[in-house]
Amino acid sequence: MYDLKDPRSTMNTAAASTSKPPVTAYAGAEVIEFHQVPPQESGEGYKTWYGRGQNFVLSYTEAQAGAVLSRTGQADEYMAFFPDSATRVDIETENGSATGVAHQLAIIPPGDSSIVVKEGGPVVRLFSAATADLASISYNAASYAQPHPNVALLEPWPAPPDGFKLRRYDIEVAETPGRFGVIYRSTNLMVNFIPVRMEPRDPNKMSPHHHDDFEQCSLTLQGDYIHYLRWPWVPDKSIWRDDAAIRVAAPSMTVIPPPAIHTSQSLEPPCQLIDIFSPPRVDFSQKPGWVLNADDYPMPS
C-alpha cells in the first residue's frame, strides 16, 4: 500500500498464484548495529563488520588512509561504494583500474582486486553469499546455518554483453519525476540509493508492503529509523509472530524477511537508508528508466 505520490504505486502487482506454496514457517528480522558489536576483521588502518542475508554478504568498513581491502580469486563480481564524499580510493582489478574514486558505486569483476584507501571514510562492499569465506565470518552467520523460509535462492542474471570489467556509477543523480531512488544492478545484486531525508517521515504517508520471496536489506548510513514489521496470519497459528517496531541507529543493517509487511520511518534528520536486494528485483527492473545501468546488465529472458 503506497501513497499515490510514491513512484512504487505505479508498479504492476501480479495476481496471487494458486500454485504458490503455503507459508509454513517464518523468520524474524536480522539486525546488526555495527558499533554495538566487535568488528569481525581488522587490519592496518581499518575495521570491518560483516552481516549476511540468504543470498548476500554486507561488509561495512571504517578505513583510514593507507588501508588496503583485497580479494583474491573472487568467484563472482561484487559491489563497493563510498558514501562519504570526502573518501578517495584507488581500485585495481584484473579487468580495469581507476584512481581517485569518490562517492561512486563500483562493480568489481571476478578475480583478484584491491581497494586502496587514499582519504579515509566508510567503505561498503556487497558480495553474493557464494563468497563463502565472508559468509562464514558474518556476525549473524549462525542464523543462516539452514536456509531461511520463503526466500528464493540466488540464480545469477545474465553476464554483461561486453564482459566483466570494472564499472563505476554516480551515487548522486538528479531526481526524475516518477523514478524511485537511484538504482543499479549487477548479475547478483541490486542497490537503491535513497536520497537523504532532511525531515522526519510524515506518519500519514507510510508505505507498508511485502515481498513474496526475497529479503530486503536496509543499510542505515545516517540518522535513526524505526522499521515496522507485521507477519501475515496463516492457518497454522503456531507460527504467528507478534508485530515488531525495531529502532536502529547508523551505522547498522536490518534484513527484512518475506513475506513480512514492512515500512520504515526516519526520525531525526539527516537520515539515509540504502536498500539492497539479491538477486536483482524484477519489478524494479521492469519499470522503464528506473535501473540506471540496465544497458550494461540485461534481464533474464
Compute CA 58 distance to the chain's CA centroid, rounded to the nearest angstrom: 8
C-alpha cell at 277: 536486494
Pairing relation of β-strands 41-43 and 104-108?
Answer: unpaired
pLDDT given for residue 253 in this prediction? 98
Structural domains in the chain plus CATH codes: 7-11+26-285 (2.60.120.10)
- The terminus-to-terminus CA distance of the chain in angstroms comes to 29
* Contact indicator for 187, 156 with CB cutoff of 8 Å: yes
CA 277, 281, 282 angle in degrees (round to 5)? 170
Residue 257: phi and psi, rounded to 5, are -85, 150
List the one residue out of 283, 163, 138 whose CA is nearest residue 216: 283
pTM of the model: 0.93
pLDDT by 10-residue block (mean), the chain, 301 residues: 73 54 94 98 97 98 98 98 97 98 98 98 98 98 97 97 98 93 98 95 95 98 98 97 98 98 96 98 97 98 87
Q: How far apart are CA 145 and CA 24, in angstroms?
A: 19
Kindly report each contact of residues 167-171 with a partner whose C-beta sits within 8 Å and lies 24 or more positions away, as own/partner. 167/96, 167/106, 167/107, 167/293, 167/296, 168/98, 168/101, 168/104, 168/105, 168/106, 168/107, 169/104, 169/105, 169/107, 169/292, 169/293, 170/103, 170/104, 170/105, 171/81, 171/83, 171/103, 171/104, 171/105
Q: How far apart are CA 260 and CA 211, in angstroms?
A: 7
pLDDT given for residue 17 in this prediction? 43
- What radius of gyration do the chain's Cα atoms show? 19
* Contact indicator for 112, 93 with CB cutoff of 8 Å: yes
Q: How far apart are CA 94 and CA 74, in angstroms?
A: 11
